[in-house]
Amino acid sequence: MSDSVFDAGLTRSALQSIGLDAPAVRALSDSNAVRPNLHFVKEPAATGTEPVNNVDPGLDIVNVAFGLDATYLPHAGVVITSMIANAPGAHFRFLILYEGISAEDRSEFERCGSGHQFLWLRIEQSSVLAMAGKRHISRASYFRLMISELAPADMTRVIYLDGDLVITGDLRELYRTDLADHAIGAVADVGMDDRAFAERFGLAHQRLGYFNAGVLLIDLAAIRQSGAFLEALDLLETRKDEMEYSDQCALNLVFWQRWTALDILWNVQRRMLMPNEGKPCFAEKSEMKSGQRPKIIHFTEQNKPWSTDAWHPLIWTYYRYLDKTPYRARVRTMAQVTLIREVRRRVKTFFNWQRLRAN
C-alpha cells in the first residue's frame, strides 16, 4: 500500500469518526480537481517582478503563503520585512490569497519585499466568502485551506504564515525541515485543551496533540494527492458552529495524530511567554524551551501589538520591523503610540530579549 493511499485511509477514518458518512468522505477524498466553488483571479505583481513561471532553477527559492485582507496587510508587511532581514541572501516567492486589496495597496505591500517574487490570487465567488470571521480570527485565514488547489503546480512545498508574527530566525532552516511521513509540520497550541478537544470529537487523546495553524510547513504534493485540505474546508463549511477556532479546528480534525512536531521555537505563542496572565497553559516549562530566543514570535489571542492596550514581553520586535515598512505612521496612529509608551515598551522589551538565550 502506498503512503498516499494509507494517509487517505487514515483521513477517511478520522472524518467518519466525527460524523461524516462514508459516501461523503469518499467523494471528498477521491476528488483531485479544483472544487467548482473555488473561483480566483490571478493578479499581476504590482511592481513588475518576474512571473513565478520563470523562476531561475538555480535559485534556492523559499515559498511562503498568506491569506490576507486589507486589515491585516500592514501587519503581514512586518512579517515579510522581519523574514527578509533575518535570512540574508534568501530568495522568497510569496503566494498571497486575498480579498479586498486594491492594486495600489498591493504595490505598497510589495515594497516590503523588494527584489522578491509575488503571486496574488484574488478569491472570488467562494463559499468561504459567505462565512464570517470568528472571535479575533479573520475570514481571510480560511484561505489557507485553498493553498493546495490554487498554488502553482511547480510549488510543491510551502510555509503558511499568519499575519500576526515577527520572524527572528532564518526561515530557510524551517523550510528544509524533514516532515518524515507526514504532509504538514506545526507547533502545538499550548493554550488548547487537547484532551477536551479529543473527547468532544471521539478521538484518541495525545498530549499536545492539537497544533496551532499560524505556522505550517506544508508538503503540497502530498496534500494534493490526499485532498486533505479540501476535507478540512468541507468541515468548516458544514460544521462551522462546532469549530471553536474555525479552520484551525477543522485542520486538527483531519490531521489528528498525523502531523510532524516542529521545533517549538518556530511558533512561540503568548502563553509560552506570559504564564502569569491567569490563562491555562497545557505545556510544561521544559517543553516550551523557556529561556531561549524564539525564531518566530506569534502574537496569539486578541491583544495584538497594534491594539491600543497592547502589551507583550517582546512587543518591540514588532515595532522595530514596522518602522522599516511603509505602514509605520498608520499603525502607530491606530495603536495610539505615545512617546512615554514607546520608551517604556522599548526598555521592557530590551531586557526581556536580553535574558533569553540564543540557540
Mean pLDDT of the chain: 82
Contact (Cβ atoms closer than 8 angstroms) between residue 178 and residue 261: no
pLDDT at 214: 96
Contact (Cβ atoms closer than 8 angstroms) between residue 172 and residue 61: no
52-61, 64-73, 242-251, 330-339: lowest mean pLDDT where?
52-61
Contact (Cβ atoms closer than 8 angstroms) between residue 83 and residue 215: no
Q: What is the CATH number of domain 36-188+208-219+260-265?
A: 3.90.550.10
145-154, 155-164, 348-357: lowest mean pLDDT where?
348-357
User: Quick one: cell of 201?
Assistant: 470529537
Buried b (16+ CB within 10 A) or exposed e, 61-97: bbbbbbbbbeebbbbbbbbbbbbbebbeebebbbbbb
Question: What is the reported pTM?
Answer: 0.82
The residue ranking higher by pLDDT, 17 or 182, is 182
Listed residue (175, 167, 162) closest to 84, CA to CA? 167
The residue ranking higher by pLDDT, 109 or 246, is 109
Percent of the chain with pLDDT over 90: 52
pLDDT at 325: 98
